[in-house]
């Protein structure tokens, strides 16, 4: 049969052709609605489902079964999820109109997870309602993740702002303190000693005159007294100068640390990727930990390959990792009781063929059981007596956010530890490569 043709053969009646075409169109329409990627239900005012497409059944039938409701009555199903919406539908007075538009209902799917279904419900005739719906769970969960990330970012920004404020306040106090220490240092002329020495010279020159006027050997006694006073003052001078120098150096170091920290939090840079030289970050980490290294008599050795290219990183985050790793290595010496030579070595090499930067922190401190290396990065796990187990976990998260990897190993107790960080430059945005 030739469809839609104006000329019909004598055997075909016009009505048969129209009937056939309508039947085909109806079949296509059914398929079109049935395969639509949106749940569609046509129901009467009591909720009885008159029409239902495939996607609709795919979503609504399991929900009805879980909620122990009839899968052929949409009002019962909605009533079991949100009774207010059922009431809204039942009491809707108009003959036509939208009852709700993209209203998200949550269904606790027994034994698995919560489903979020977005419903649009319209009254399309006196006794006819159209329900259009789709599974909104994935979108809802993505939106939740974005919301949580935004909240976390806001929290980080708040912390950063607070940290900046604290650093600023501490900086001001330390600056004032440093000024006083500098003044004190400049005051250490000890002119009194020079004056006494002049007096000693004078007494020596007038020794006989003094003896004859105030008594025999009195000048000698006076000289002895003044020499003892000079010696005492000289000792005090050395002690005080040493103390003031130490105070001055410590204040300078605190100021240096504050300057580094200010640099890292300046402009709320956390999260921002900037081009940095890894060596600079390592130097800054060392400066911050320098006092602790000196206090524990630990030799810090650095071996950085000059060919390492600059990389795009979040330097605020990355320095946290380096400081943390250095601190761990330093504190690992607290449990060492023998008199071994204490060394922390940081090595960085560039594996050019694979475009990988390999960074190794190695120490000869207490180490740990060789079996537990892989679990130390899990939140809450630590090998330290006073550790919380959050530091290494944070390090791992930060390194992985830079598409890198981090591993820690030890040959066993007393045998030191080695942390290996790999940065894959092919995965890091790097304009110089």
Angle between helices 207-214 and 218-265 (to 10 degrees): 120
Q: Which among 300, 291, 371, 387 has a CA at the least distance from the CA of 335?
A: 387
- Identity of the residue, 35 or 241, whose beta carbon is nearer to another protein in the bound complex: 35
- Strand pairing category for 417-424 and 356-363: antiparallel
Shortest reach from residue 66's CB to another protein, in Å = 9
Q: DSSP characters for 406-432?
A: EEEE-SSTTS-EEEEEEEETTTS--TT
Q: How many helices (H) and strands (E) does the chain have?
A: 11, 12
Interface residue with another protein among 12, 35, 188, 426 (CB under 8 A) is 35
Interface residue with another protein among 17, 34, 106, 373 (CB under 8 A) is 34
Q: How far apart are CA 109 and CA 67, in angstroms?
A: 9
Using CB under 8 A as the binding rule, whether residue 130 contacts another protein is answered as no
- Identity of the residue, 62 or 387, whose beta carbon is nearer to another protein in the bound complex: 62
Q: Applying CB under 8 A, what is the total number of residues that bind another protein?
A: 23
- Identity of the residue, 56 or 416, whose beta carbon is nearer to another protein in the bound complex: 56
Shortest reach from residue 12's CB to another protein, in Å = 23
Give me the 39-78 binding string for another protein, x by CB under 8 A, dash otherwise. ----------xxxxxxxxxxxxxx--x-----xx------
Contacts to another protein from residues 71-110, by CB under 8 A? 71-72
SS3 state of residue 387: coil
Shortest reach from residue 113's CB to another protein, in Å = 11
- Strand pairing category for 356-363 and 311-313: unpaired
- Identity of the residue, 62 or 389, whose beta carbon is nearer to another protein in the bound complex: 62
Q: How far apart are CA 74 and CA 67, in angstroms?
A: 12
Contacts to another protein from residues 12-31, by CB under 8 A? 27, 30
Look-up of token digits 């003892």: 228
- Identity of the residue, 30 or 277, whose beta carbon is nearer to another protein in the bound complex: 30
Classify residue 396 by burial, with Cβ atoms within 10 Å: 0-12, 13-18, 19+.
buried
- Residues in contact with another protein by CB under 8 A are 27, 30, 33-35, 49-62, 65, 71-72, 112
């Amino acid at each position: 049969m030739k469809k839609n043709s104006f000329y019909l053969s004598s055997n075909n009646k016009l009505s048969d052709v129209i009937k056939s075409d309508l039947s085909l169109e109806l079949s296509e329409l059914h398929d079109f609605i049935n395969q639509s990627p949106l749940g569609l239900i046509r129901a009467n005012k009591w909720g009885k489902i008159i029409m239902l497409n495939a996607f609709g059944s795919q979503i609504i039938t399991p929900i009805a079964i879980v909620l122990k409701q009839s899968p052929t009555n949409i009002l019962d199903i909605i009533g079991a999820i949100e009774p207010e919406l059922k009431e809204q539908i039942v009491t809707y007075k108009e003959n036509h109109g939208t009852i709700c538009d993209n209203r998200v209902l949550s269904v606790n799917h027994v034994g698995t997870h919560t489903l979020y279904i977005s419903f649009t419900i319209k009254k399309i005739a006196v006794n006819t309602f159209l329900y259009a719906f789709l599974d909104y769970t994935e979108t809802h969960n993505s939106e939740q993740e974005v919301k949580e990330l935004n909240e976390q970012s806001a929290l980080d920004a708040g912390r950063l702002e607070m940290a900046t404020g604290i650093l600023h306040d501490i900086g001001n106090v330390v600056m004032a303190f440093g000024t006083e220490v500098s003044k004190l240092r400049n005051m250490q002329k000890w002119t009194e000693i020079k004056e006494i020495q002049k007096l000693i010279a004078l007494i020596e020159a007038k020794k006989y005159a003094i003896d004859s006027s105030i008594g025999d050997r009195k000048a000698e006694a006076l000289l002895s007294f003044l020499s003892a006073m000079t010696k005492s003052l000289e000792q005090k001078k050395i002690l005080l100068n040493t103390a003031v120098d130490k105070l001055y150096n410590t204040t300078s170091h605190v100021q240096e640390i504050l300057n580094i920290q200010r640099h890292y939090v300046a402009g709320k840079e956390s999260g921002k990727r900037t081009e940095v030289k890894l060596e600079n970050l390592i130097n800054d980490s060392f400066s911050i930990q320098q006092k602790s290294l000196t206090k524990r008599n630990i030799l810090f050795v650095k071996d950085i390959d000059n060919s390492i290219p600059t990389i795009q990183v979040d330097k605020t985050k990355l320095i946290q990792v380096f400081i943390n790793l250095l601190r761990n290595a330093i504190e690992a010496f607290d449990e060492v009781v023998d008199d071994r030579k204490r060394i922390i070595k940081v090595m960085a090499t560039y594996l050019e063929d694979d475009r990988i930067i390999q960074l190794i922190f190695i120490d000869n401190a207490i180490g740990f059981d060789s079996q537990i290396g892989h679990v130390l990065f899990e939140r809450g796990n630590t090998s330290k007596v006073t550790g919380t187990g959050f530091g290494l976990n944070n390090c791992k998260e930060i390194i992985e956010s830079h598409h890198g990897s981090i591993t820690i190993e030890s040959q066993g107790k007393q045998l030191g530890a080695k942390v290996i960080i790999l940065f894959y430059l092919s995965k890091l945005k790097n304009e110089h490569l």
